Amino acid sequence: MNIKNISVPFVNFKREYKKIKKEINLAIKEVLEDQAFVLGKRVEEFEKNYSNYLGIRHTIGINSGTDGIILALKALNVGEGDEVITPANSFFATTLGIEQVKATPVFVDIDEETYQIDTNKIEDKITKRTKAILLVHLYGTCANMEDIITIAKKHNIYIIEDACQAHGVEYKGKKAGTLGDISIFSFYPSKNLGAYGDGGAVCTDNEELAVKLKLLRNYGQRVKYYHDILGTNTRLDEIQAAILSVKLKYLDIWNNSRNKIAKRYTKNIKTIKTQTVYKSSTHNYHLYVIEVKNREEFIKYMHNNDINCQIHYPIPLHLQQALKHLGYKEGDFPITENVAKHIVSLPMYPFMTNMEIKKVIDTINTYENL
Ligand SMILES: *Cc1c(COP(=O)(O)O)cnc(C)c1O
């Protein structure tokens, strides 16, 4: 096939499914035969599998990453009057969780090269009310954990990892999601470990927190109809858990193939400013992000060549309409604001073909205005 005639989507999950179709279909069928859909043995099994994979004591399967952030904050008793430090560049759900528990998000600008929370700017934002740092391992590589751990210890505040994009990533040999007090994963279909619907998990080494999280996800119920605390209903379901146990076996392989594609992008695209990775961290290339001068023009050019690019994220958190009440304004976080205007995410998925990769590289290399 002529390279000119192929189109490159942003992601392609059909190929993934094709590879594991038999296993997946069987796993779903077994759940249907059992007719047990909520908090049964598959959820327990997946929780054990994921804990083993991460090297952590407890995984609590829930309905989404967003709910995970809410539950993590609640488990740590973070609520009204408390402040939570968090980066100005992330998916909206990170901050939404803080708002949902009525705590106050306190934004910090990001670092220009790594796009992660700028740890040099955290301590200025710490007050008597600061309860936690809710950091994000953005795009699939770790934030500066060394600094964050030092700061959190010094000021006696919690570390919450939004690891929703960081499945399988390692920092100094330890998995992302095991580096703080509590961590959150999303299994939204497009994540590196994705369910076939919504899903998420909260992970911790702390037994007491784990017990509380299990109550919180299930109406605050310890024994059926006995409600110890005010919880909610946010549970990973059996079908999704069965799917996730199958897909977990392939996570490292698929992360590897994403890394190979990333390497080719970095090596072959002529002029490129892309995300710098901290030496202590690996990358799972959930997203491969570059900066371009004129984004609108670049994306249009790529589209004209049948290549689909996306933006993560076009509007910084502090400038979102829904957060107007926090009183932030344009200019408050110049690096986040500047990056938000220039970043583009390139197509990235396991099973990307050689032709597709080559087409992305060649197309960018013939663009004049990078
Ligand atoms: C996807 C994502 C979430 C939210 O997860 P959902 O499962 O979609 O609710 C939170 N934070 C980050 C950084 C994410 O990428």
Distance 93 CA to ligand 1 centre (A): 6
CA distance 17 to 151: 43
| Of residues 167, 182, 165, the one with CA closest to residue 289 | 165
Q: Is the CB of 275 inside a 6 Å radius of any atom of ligand 1?
A: no
Q: CB of 255 closer than 6 A to ligand 1?
A: no
Ligand 1 atom showing the smallest separation from residue 187 Cα: 7
Distance from Cα 65 to the centre of ligand 1, integer Å: 5
The answer to whether the beta carbons of residues 158 and 152 sit under 8 Å apart is yes
Ligand 1 atom closest to residue 68's alpha carbon, by position in its atom list = 9
Q: Which of 91, 103, 62, 11 is nearest to 187 (CA)?
A: 62
Burial class (CB in 10 A: 0-12, 13-18, 19+), 354: exposed
Please give the distance, rounded to the nearest whole angstrom, from the Cα atom of residue 187 to the centre of ligand 1. Answer: 8
For 44-71, b where at least 16 C-beta lie within 10 A, e where not — what string? Answer: eebbebbbebbebebbbbbbbbbbbbbb
Mean pLDDT by 10 residues, the chain (370 residues): 90 96 98 96 98 98 98 98 97 98 98 98 98 98 98 98 98 98 98 98 98 97 94 97 98 98 96 92 98 96 97 97 97 98 97 97 90
Q: Is the CB of 161 under 6 A from ligand 1?
A: no
Query: Which residue's C-alpha comes closest to atom 6 of ligand 1?
Result: 65
d(CA 311, CA 299): 10
- Ligand 1 proximity of 281 Cβ (cutoff 6 Å): no
The predicted pLDDT at position 84 comes to 98
pLDDT of 44 reads 98
- Measured between alpha carbons, how far apart are the two ends of the chain, in Å? 28
Which strands, in side-by-side order, build the sheet including 343-346?
Answer: 273-274, 288-291, 343-346
